[in-house]
Structure 1
Amino acid sequence: MGHRFLELATSPAARAAQAAQGSRAAYARMEGGQALFDQLGPREAAFIAARDSFYIASVNPDGWPYVQHRGGPPGFLKVLDDRRLGFADLAGNKQYLTLGNVATEDRVALFLMDYPNRRRLKLLGRMHAVDLAADAALADRLALPEYPARIERGFVIVVEALDWNCPQHITPRFTEAELAEGLAPIRHRLEALERENEALRARLAEAG
């Protein structure tokens, strides 16, 4: 089978390092043959729709990598079809480093994290900016009507490959909303105990 992500990401130097460290044979079996892990399926679509942030890496003309955090409401990164992703570029600090990088080198890498469940998805693709004023259909798909931020443009990523990582070394972390949901039963129990305590105090006061 041909693990598309590994084929794109593994350089000759990385293969030499694998050989030196004893892992080359295992990874060599994933190269060649029919391409796999090169399209978005239902599993990836569901995972992406639940994310409220991701990290994106691009490269400038001098070869320096730049990693940027992108955030928004859950599902702001849209699955357009089985090979394309899109998201609204929200107004920020106006450095435009990623925008400038993809103008000369369109290859990008995305890293999506699910900390509570210790899952992560990596994507390789080619990204370009889109003037949403000239593409009403895409503008509708990328719109965030209830999110208080100004959209400057759209970005579309043509996915070349993807990979699911193992959960090793991922420390679980939880958002405020996730904590509130998980702690709700405890909060309700505490509220019930407080009501019981107040009732007992009232009866004791009456007895005294």
Structure 2
Amino acid sequence: MSRRFPELAFTPLVKAHQKQHNSRAQYQRMEESGPPDDSLGVSERTFIALRDSFYMASVGETGWPYVQHRGGEKGFVHVIDPKTIAFADLRGNKQYISVGNLEHDARVALFFMDYPNQTRLKILGRVEVHENDARALELLQALRPASPKDVAERVILIHVEAFDWNCPQHITPRYTIEELEPSLAPIRDRIKALEAENAALRGKLDAISPRRTGTAG
């Protein structure tokens, strides 16, 4: 936990609940011993580069929070520098709730999940949106996804204010097809070999078995 994270997240009411539930002393020690620099380190940058999705929370003009899922190929979220990450925002259902919220309040909370390893990275940051401006074209060309079917409408830069790693408790392991493939491939190969073996045995049995003849009486 970086020192900046508790400054932003541990409000007086949060601390009161921590004290009530006997966790305040533990988190106070973590606050005091955390790294003073809130720049993303090697672990955080590597973790982000390997993710194929994340969740982003924003707050609208009504005061209600909104959580949106963003996905793509691994590495679609780029670490520009230790304090900045960015991604090309693709055309979706055209509700533009997050985009409107960010114009109202640039603050976001991000969750990057690694379900198989039960790991979660939380990031608090401020957003800078580039669409139809002088820098948008340059950024879109640098961050545009490889697939021609994906239409990138804007680039969202997130200036990192703080981050924290969560404990693995209560994170249910889930696996993508890509992650399951190394385990599934040998099973498919074995099934294919058994099917071929069975077909060969059936052929041999048909060859040595006398043909049935007869008439119905």
TM-score by structure 2 length? 0.87
Q: Is the Cα contact below 8 Å between 2:118 and 2:171 reproduced in 1?
A: yes
- C-alpha separation in 2, matches of 1:104 and 1:169: 33
Q: What is the SS of the residue equivalent to 2:116? A: coil
Report the alpha carbon displacement of residue 147 of structure 1 after superposing the two structures with TM: 5.0
Amino acid at match of 1:3: R
Structure-1 residue corresponding to 2:165 = 164
Q: What is the SS of the residue equivalent to 2:160? A: strand
Q: What is the SS of the residue equivalent to 1:89? A: strand
Structure-2 residue corresponding to 1:90 = 90
Can you give the 5+ residue segments of structure 2 that lack an aligned partner in the other structure?
A: 210-217
Q: Is the Cα contact below 8 Å between 1:102 and 1:127 reproduced in 2?
A: yes
Report the alpha carbon displacement of residue 132 of structure 1 after superposing the two structures with TM: 6.1
Q: Is the Cα contact below 8 Å between 1:120 and 1:165 reproduced in 2?
A: yes
What's the CA shift string for 1:9-53, capped at 9, x where partnerless?
Answer: 111001011111111111111224774472222222222122221
Amino acid at match of 2:67: V
Q: Is the Cα contact below 8 Å between 2:87 and 2:157 reproduced in 1?
A: yes
Structure-1 residue corresponding to 2:59 = 59
Could you list the runs of 4 or more consecutive aligned residues of structure 1 that deviate by over 3 angstroms after TM superposition? 32-37
In the alignment of these two chains, the number of paired residues is 208
Q: What is the SS of the residue equivalent to 1:103? A: helix
- C-alpha separation in 1, matches of 2:148 and 2:47: 20
Report the alpha carbon displacement of residue 204 of structure 1 after superposing the two structures with TM: 2.3
State percent identity of aligned pairs. Answer: 53
Structure-2 residue corresponding to 1:130 = 130
Can you give the 5+ residue segments of structure 1 that lack an aligned partner in the other structure?
A: none
- C-alpha separation in 2, matches of 1:79 and 1:180: 28
Q: 1:128 to 1:27 in 2, by over 3 A?
A: same
Structure-1 residue corresponding to 2:215 = none
RMSD across aligned C-alpha pairs, in angstroms?
A: 2.0
Does residue 44 in structure 1 map to residue 44 in structure 2?
Answer: yes
Report the alpha carbon displacement of residue 205 of structure 1 after superposing the two structures with TM: 2.3
Q: Is the Cα contact below 8 Å between 1:49 and 1:77 reproduced in 2?
A: yes
Q: 1:120 to 1:15 in 2, by over 3 A?
A: same
Q: Is the Cα contact below 8 Å between 1:2 and 1:32 reproduced in 2?
A: no
- C-alpha separation in 2, matches of 1:41 and 1:33: 16
Amino acid at match of 2:45: A
- C-alpha separation in 2, matches of 1:133 and 1:23: 47
